[in-house]
Copies of this chain bind each other. A is one copy, B any other.
Amino acid sequence: MKTGNYYLQDKKESGAIGNCLTGEHVHKAYERLLPFVHRTPLITSTTTNKLVNKQVYFKMENQQKTGAFKFRGATYKLMQMTNDSLARGVITASAGNHAQGVAYAATRLQANATVFMPESTPQAKVEATKNYGADVILTGETFQEAFEASKKHQLKTGAIYVHPFDDYDLMAGQGTVALEILQQEDRIDTIIVPIGGGGLISGVAVAAKHINRNIKIIGVEASDACSMYNELHNRSNRSLTFNTIAEGINVKEPGKLTSEIVNEYVDEIVTVSDTEIAAAILYMLERNKMLMEGAGAASLAALFKFHDQIKSRHCGIIVSGGNIDINMMPKIQQLAKKQNFSA
């Protein structure tokens, strides 16, 4: 590994499993989510197995409802609310998969959802969020401005805020991905997970290690947006451009709660470049006819990059989502060409 270097090994081996987010918590979420979420397929590819010299299992959350794992956490978060809270409606700010996850979860649970999106949000994402049943308010030039407007609106209306990652119930919902993948293939010894704010990897790490503490959890960030890695290594984010095709993991400030969990349970964090991500998107599309978004492709990009160093026989890859703008394809192809594909 180029980065990370098992820096958390000591802590992990302390044996502490679960404090604020526990394995039982994720199990409970799993049971409650059963009637609501898709049990997404676990797929394999002989070609990929040969390329990386291990058995690889892709957990296809791009085929989850709303096209990403985010629907799991949002739904469980809303299910944990009282009827009185639900009646006040929910609110969030997001230009991406969280917006759609909250919108659809609210519709399913008969709550009103208001989603603040920056004015620059592509029309297709605005439409998708509306179609899932949310009221969309377009405001501000940046995400930060939309976020602040949503907070003000919350104070005014009393709606319940659904944070995109820094929330234990939400993390428990995302962690159900780990329970499913280990049910589908119990030989998995390593799971590679993309990191944005850290909600998915927190849930996955706690749940997987609750089942088998020897399962390795490897997190992946985009090289230009590796704020979790920097935070855990006390490095500054000043050198980061936060310019990546993987907008789903382009997060400037990872969560406080998620950072603690990642620090405790995640074995390693690695980073991948946009050309590596683009090559992984194109590989999956051309070989396996599956569409992944940038964030969803980050795990496969990491496997291709580090497969020599990853000591795994049965490796799980979380394909977190598939909501990529098809207009991006020429750019993806162009980037992928730059990648000297050595996997």
Which residues from 287 to 319 on chain A have a C-beta closer than 8 Å to any C-beta of chain B?
288-292
Nearest to A329 among chain B residues (CB) is B329
Instruction: Give the dominant DSSP class at A's interface.
Output: helix
Interface string of A53-76 (1 = CB under 8 A from B): 000000010110001000000000
Contact, CB under 8 Å: A333 / B326: yes
- Residue A327 lies at the interface, judged by CB distance under 8 Å to chain B: yes
A270 to chain B, nearest CB (A): 25
Interface string of A275-294 (1 = CB under 8 A from B): 00000001001101111100
Contact, CB under 8 Å: B291 / A289: yes
A43 to chain B, nearest CB (A): 8
Of B67, B327, B329, B330, the residue contacting A289 (CB under 8 A) is B67
Contact, CB under 8 Å: B326 / A63: no
Contact, CB under 8 Å: A289 / B290: yes
Contacts of A330 in B (CB 8 A): 329-330
In the complex with contacts A67-B289, A291-B291, A333-B322 CB distance below 8 A: no
Kindly state the separation between the CA atoms of A91 and B292 in the bound complex, as whole angstroms: 37
Of B60, B63, B290, the residue contacting A291 (CB under 8 A) is B290
Kindly state the separation between the CA atoms of A322 and B329 in the bound complex, as whole angstroms: 16
Contacts of A4 in B (CB 8 A): none
Kindly state the separation between the CA atoms of A62 and B291 in the bound complex, as whole angstroms: 13
- Residue A140 lies at the interface, judged by CB distance under 8 Å to chain B: no
Kindly state the separation between the CA atoms of A327 and B286 in the bound complex, as whole angstroms: 11
Nearest to A128 among chain B residues (CB) is B286
Contact, CB under 8 Å: A289 / B62: yes
A296 to chain B, nearest CB (A): 9
- Residue A18 lies at the interface, judged by CB distance under 8 Å to chain B: no
Give the A interface residue count (CB, 8 A).
20
Nearest to A321 among chain B residues (CB) is B289
Contact, CB under 8 Å: A289 / B326: no
A320 to chain B, nearest CB (A): 12
Contacts of A63 in B (CB 8 A): 43, 288-289
A117 to chain B, nearest CB (A): 19
A166 to chain B, nearest CB (A): 28
Contact, CB under 8 Å: A326 / B288: no
A316 to chain B, nearest CB (A): 18
Interface string of A22-46 (1 = CB under 8 A from B): 0000000000000000000101000
Contacts of A285 in B (CB 8 A): 291, 326
Which residues from 68 to 108 on chain A have a C-beta closer than 8 Å to any C-beta of chain B?
none
Contacts of A43 in B (CB 8 A): 63
Kindly state the separation between the CA atoms of A292 and B289 in the bound complex, as whole angstroms: 7
A298 to chain B, nearest CB (A): 16
Q: What are 24 A-B pairs with beta-carbon distances under 8 A?
A: A41-B41, A43-B63, A60-B289, A62-B289, A63-B288, A63-B289, A67-B289, A282-B326, A285-B291, A285-B326, A286-B326, A289-B290, A289-B291, A289-B292, A289-B322, A290-B290, A290-B291, A291-B291, A326-B329, A326-B333, A327-B333, A329-B329, A329-B330, A330-B330
